[in-house]
Amino acid sequence: MRITQGTFSFLPDLTDTEIKAQIQYAIDQGWACSIEYTDDAHPRNTYWDMYGPPMFGLKDAAGVMMELVACRKAFPSHYIKVNAFDSTRGIESVRLSFIVNRPADEPGFSLQRQETEGRRIRYTTVGIAAQLPAGKRY
Amino acid sequence: MNASKDGAIVDAKKRYAPGVLKYRQMGYWQPDYEPKETDVVCVFRITPQEGVDAEEAAAAVAGESSTATWTVVWTDLLTACESYRAKAYRVDRVPNTGPGTNSEQQYFAWVAYDLILFEEGSIANLTASLIGNVFSFKPLKAARLEDIRLPVAYVKTFKGPPTGIVVERERLDKFGRPLLGATMKPKLGLSGRNYGRVVYEGLVGGLDFTKDDENINSQPFMHWRDRFLFGMEAVNRAQAASGEQKGHYFNITGATMEDMYERAEFAKELGSCIVMIDLVVGWTAIQSMANWSRRNDMILHMHRAGHGTYTRQKNHGVSFRVIAKWLRLAGVDHLHAGTAVGKLEGDPMTVQGYYNVCRDGYTKADLQRGLFFDQDWADLRRVMPVASGGIHAGQMHQLLTLFGDDVVLQFGGGTIGHPAGIQAGATANRVALETMVKARNEGRDIAVEGPQILAAAGRWCTPLAQALETWKDVTFNYASTDTPDFVPTATASV
């Protein structure tokens, strides 16, 4: 399967030139980019690990690309995403987020069902790779 | 216009002598009045009856939407009646109406209301005054509430959207693009099991949301509990298959509040992230469901069913921009606000005005978009507008240009009617959307290059190519009924 979190997951994987263009767009809007990685891409896993803090004040996408290259080198088969953060009053949140690295093989999720009262079912989404210990998942 | 004739009577003896006075003699026309920061201010479009002059008609609107009755009452003197009287303070001719046009003479009447007139946090109370008796008042042929300025002091008495755009995105983990949805079709007749199939196919194909239609409640062919149970199976399956959060708007509209609460509770128990209600449930029910949604971490989707009966005709009713303002105060998270390019009424500039009302932190007056007032929203959460009705993948560049990222684009027929099936329809829309966002961010002029950008994506994405081919000639180019009164005039260049 292919995890489709993040903007652009339905497109062919972005090339580095394309990634850089998106980062430059974000910087031009006044947003700060950050890089996050994980080996547990559960849809409700909000807190991926930060590869350094958001790069506030950076004007050139090349700086973010350098960090991305380093992150990929450290975690070649993790999921890695670029977030762009907007500190404008009333927003103060992420404005763009897209995956820029993913494992070659994505085993995906299983859906567990617990039958409960009446016809109700309690659903649990379980990451197949995440059942292995951290570091041995991909 | 003759302002001095029949002005307000200041001599208390004459003013309160039993009998009938003109509204402006009673003090409802005050051309020198400067609205206070704390006043609610309304602009009404009025068409006076033959023989009723514009100022008297405006005064009548002020009177009938505040304290006046048809005759003088001495009991006014028991009150600080100056405060309670609404004041009509300005009348303008509406451009392109009156002699020489194909419409009767209309006027914009500006009326100010003191804050003491309104119960805090109650749209029911606000509307009972502003659109209560006055719209049936005989001396007016027609009246329309065009726009309203809500003072910050009053805005702060409302809690607004339970979730808002920012928190909705944070909960769903979706940033940087419009959300995608589809209304399940056929609207009526599917069993719960068949219905869940359509939900699953749409979501697994790439949609973020699917939606009950406005008239899906609990009919003989599908009891609401069956729909909710099968629907949540579909949502959870699609979520596990994509690794992405998904939702289905369960319509919890019912005959009574008790029914609505029961349906809402069941949706929550099953783990749904969103429920929906129809505008026809009324203001009190809307505010109750907003409170329930706040307590239960639920996104509240509003389908504006019925609004066309009073928003569409320009001469009479309430503009949708006013309804949108009231709904933002009342507290909904999603609001159908038009597509401009689809099958339902909506001039593009006018529709953009509605979107501004939903999403701005501070809305600037913009007559071309029908916005008469600056409106400070006092940090009230923002409403996600929904574009739904007769739109398809081939219009993606237009939709993104008109509405930007904070919108739910809903393709019902444009998903389910795809020749290769529902999943293919959903994928076509998602690919078209992401392609267009990417191109825009790369600096391309999507308004112009949109069709080529879509065609290029169609070369690697067969479902998109099929969608573009199927709907290539579909447009709904009819003249809009509700259009701006103000257009920019060209200035001679020097």
Question: For B461, which residue in chain A has the nearest alpha carbon?
Answer: A11
Interface contact B442-A121, CB threshold 8 A: no
H helices present in B206-347, as ranges: 224-242, 257-269, 283-295, 308-311, 320-330
Interface contact A123-B438, CB threshold 8 A: no
Band (pLDDT 50/70/90 cuts) for residue B7 is: confident
Q: What interface predicted TM-score (ipTM) does this complex get?
A: 0.97
Q: How many CB atoms within 10 Å of residue B457?
A: 24
> Which of B206, B243, B437 comes nearest A108 by C-beta?
B243
Determine contact, residues B445/B400, Cβ cutoff 8 Å: no
Min Cα–Cα distance to chain A from B437, Å:
9
Interface contact A108-B438, CB threshold 8 A: no
> Which of A7, A18, A89 comes nearest B437 by C-beta?
A7
Q: Output the pLDDT for position B472.
A: 86
Min Cα–Cα distance to chain A from B149, Å:
21
Percent of chain B with pLDDT over 70: 96
B323: left (phi over 0), alpha (psi -120 to 50) or beta: alpha
| Distances from the Cα of B212 to the Cα of B94, B267, B281, angstroms | 40, 13, 16
Interface contact B240-A89, CB threshold 8 A: no
State chain A's mean pLDDT as an integer.
96
Determine contact, residues B300/B281, Cβ cutoff 8 Å: no
Interface contact B271-A89, CB threshold 8 A: no
Three-class DSSP category at B304? coil
User: Which of B434, B436, B444 is the best mutation test for A, with the most CBs of A within 10 A?
Assistant: B434
For residue A90, list chain B residues with Cβ-Cβ distance below 8 A.
Answer: 166, 361, 379, 382
B107-113 and B40-48 strand pairing = antiparallel
Active site residue B301: no
Q: Output the pLDDT for position B390.
A: 83
Determine contact, residues B200/B234, Cβ cutoff 8 Å: yes
For residue A41, list chain B residues with Cβ-Cβ distance below 8 A.
Answer: 243
Q: Output the pLDDT for position B2.
A: 39
| pLDDT tens readout for residues B275-289 | 999 999 999 999 999
Side-chain half-sphere CA neighbours of B90 within 13 A: 12
For residue B233, list chain A residues with Cβ-Cβ distance below 8 A.
Answer: 121
Write phi, then psi, for B28 (nearest 5 degrees).
-90, -5
Average pLDDT over residues B61-73: 87
| pLDDT tens readout for residues B225-253 | 999 999 999 999 999 999 999 999 999 99
What are the beta bridge partners of residue B362?
B376
Active site residue B246: no
Written as six digits, the tokens of B76 are: 């006014």
| pLDDT tens readout for residues A17-75 | 999 999 999 999 999 999 999 999 999 999 999 999 999 999 999 999 999 999 999 99
Interface contact B243-A97, CB threshold 8 A: no
For residue B177, list chain A residues with Cβ-Cβ distance below 8 A.
Answer: 7
Band (pLDDT 50/70/90 cuts) for residue B493 is: low
At B393, which amino acid appears? A
Average pLDDT over residues B474-483: 73
State chain B's mean pLDDT as an integer.
93
Band (pLDDT 50/70/90 cuts) for residue B485 is: confident
The length of chain B is 494
Interface contact A97-B241, CB threshold 8 A: no
User: Which of A1, A4, A8, A10 is the best mutation test for B, with the most CBs of B within 10 A?
Assistant: A10
Given the residues B156, B159, B185, B438, select the one marked as catalytic. B185
For residue A5, list chain B residues with Cβ-Cβ distance below 8 A.
Answer: 173, 243-244
pLDDT over 90 (residue B346): no
Q: Output the pLDDT for position B411.
A: 92
B32 touches chain A (CB under 8 A): no
> Which of A10, A25, A123 comes nearest B431 by C-beta?
A10
pLDDT over 80 (residue B494): no
Show which residues on chain A lie within 8 Å of chain B, measured between beta carbons: 1, 3-5, 7-12, 14, 18, 21-22, 25, 41-44, 46, 83-84, 89-98, 108-111, 119-123, 125
Written as six digits, the tokens of B348 are: 């593009």
For residue A25, list chain B residues with Cβ-Cβ distance below 8 A.
Answer: 441-443
For residue A18, list chain B residues with Cβ-Cβ distance below 8 A.
Answer: 438, 442
For residue A84, list chain B residues with Cβ-Cβ distance below 8 A.
Answer: 175-176
Q: Output the pLDDT for position B1.
A: 40
Question: For A27, which residue in chain B has the nearest alpha carbon?
Answer: B441
| pLDDT tens readout for residues B91-123 | 999 999 999 999 999 999 999 999 999 999 999
Min Cα–Cα distance to chain A from B342, Å:
25
Determine contact, residues A29/A95, Cβ cutoff 8 Å: yes
List B residues 335-374 in contact with A (Cβ-Cβ < 8 A): 361
Written as six digits, the tokens of B333 are: 């998270």
Count of CB pairs separated by less than 8 Å, A with B = 109
